[in-house]
Amino acid sequence: MVVFFIIVIVLCLIIAAASIKVVRQSEVRIIERFGKYNFTAEAGLNFILPFADKVRAVVSLKQQTMDVTPQSVITKDNVTITIDTVVFYQIMDPVKAVYEIESLQKGIAYIAITTIRDIVGKMNLDDTFSSRDAINTQLRDILDEATDKWGCKVDRVEIKDIKPPADIRDAMEKQMNAERNKRAIILEAEGKRQADITLAEGNKQATILNAEAERESSIRRAQGIRESKILEAEGNAEAIKKVADAKAAEIKLVYSAIMDTKPDQNLVALKSLDALEKISQGSANKVFIPFDATKAMGALGAATEVLKNDKQ
C-alpha cells in the first residue's frame, strides 16, 4: 500500500513538472498539441497539457547578428573581390519564423549573398569602396522586404571588409602613394606661392609707406622753407617800414623846424645857392646860370653881407 502511494506521488510530480513551463524574458516557446500549433508561451510561468502538448521551438526576441560567409563577387570592370557582410535582424512573429521557413538564418544568408552579387556586379571597383553606405542601404531594404513573410525584420546590414586581389591592392597602394605625393607637392607649391605673395605684398606696402613718408617729408620741408621766406620777407618789410617811418619823422621834424624859423625869400635863395655849390663841385660838371639869375645872386650877396654885419 505504501509503495502504491509512493508511485502515485512520483507520477504526480512528473506530471506537474511536465505541465509547468517557465519561459525566460525576451523568449517565447511555440507549443504544439498532437503535432499542431496550439499557442505561444510568453515570458513567465505557463501550463501545458502533459503528454499532449510539446514545445516545438524556443524563439529569441532579441536582436541577433549573423555573419554571412565571405563571397567572391565580380565587379562591372571584371575584378574579383571578396566581400564580408554582417546582418542584424530581429524576429517579430515567432510563429511565422518557425512554420514559414525551415531555417531562417540560411534563408537570410542566401538572399544576402545573391543580393550582394547583384548590386556589386553593377558597380566598378572604385565605386564599391566609395559607396558602402549605398550598398548597405540597398541590402537592408531588399532583405527586409524578402524576410517580412518570415516574421523577421532586418534592421541593419554592414559590409565589414572588401578585399581586392593582391595585384589590384598593390596597384591601388601605388596610386594612393602617387596621389599623396602629388598632394604634398601641390601643398608645398601653394605654400611657397602664398609666401611669395605675402612677401611681395609686404615689400609693396613698405615701398608705399616709404614713398608716403618721403612725400610728407618733402611737403614739410617745402612748408618750412616757404614759412622761413615769408618770415624773412615780413622782417624786411618791417625794417623798410621802420626806416621809412624814421625818414618821414626826420623830414617832418626838419620841415617843422624850417616852418618854425619862418623862412623868407632870401633864405630860400641861400639854400639854393648851397645846393648849386654842391652840384658844381665835380670836375666834369658845368653849370649855366641864366642872366635873370644874376639879379637874384646879387640880392643874395647883399643879403649875405647884411647877415654878416648883423653877426658882427
Say whether both 195 and 214 belong to one domain: yes
Residue 97: inside a domain, yes or no? yes
Task: Write out pLDDT tens, residues 32-44.
Answer: 888 888 888 888 8
Alpha-carbon span 226 to 206, nearest angstrom = 30
219 forms beta bridges with none
20 forms beta bridges with 47
pLDDT at 142 over 80: yes
> 10 Å Cβ neighbour count for 100?
15
Share of the chain above pLDDT 70, in %: 81
| Count of domains forming the chain | 3
Residue 42: inside a domain, yes or no? yes
Residue 311: inside a domain, yes or no? no
Say whether both 104 and 10 belong to one domain: no
Q: Last residue of a domain, which of 44, 59, 74?
A: 59
Residue 118: inside a domain, yes or no? yes
pLDDT at 305 over 70: no
Mean predicted confidence (pLDDT) in 165-194: 82
Say whether both 153 and 81 belong to one domain: yes
What is the extent of the structural domain holding 52?
2-59
Say whether both 138 and 189 belong to one domain: no
Say whether both 76 and 116 belong to one domain: yes
Residue 293: inside a domain, yes or no? no
- Alpha-carbon distances, residue 162 vs 125, 174, 175, 225, 302 (angstroms): 10, 18, 18, 86, 152
Mean predicted confidence (pLDDT) in 219-228: 87
Say whether both 79 and 136 belong to one domain: yes
Q: Check residue 291 and give its pLDDT.
A: 45
Task: Write out pLDDT tens, residues 3-49.
Answer: 777 777 777 777 777 777 888 888 999 988 888 888 888 888 888 88
Alpha-carbon span 102 to 115, nearest angstrom = 20
pLDDT at 232 over 80: yes
Say whether both 135 and 182 belong to one domain: no
Q: Are 66 and 105 in contact (CB under 8 A)?
A: yes
Alpha-carbon span 100 to 98, nearest angstrom = 6
Q: Check residue 299 and give its pLDDT.
A: 52
Residue 279: inside a domain, yes or no? no
Residue 190: inside a domain, yes or no? yes
Name which of 159, 106, 118 is nearest 142 in CA terms. Answer: 118
Say whether both 157 and 71 belong to one domain: yes
Q: Check residue 8 and give its pLDDT.
A: 74
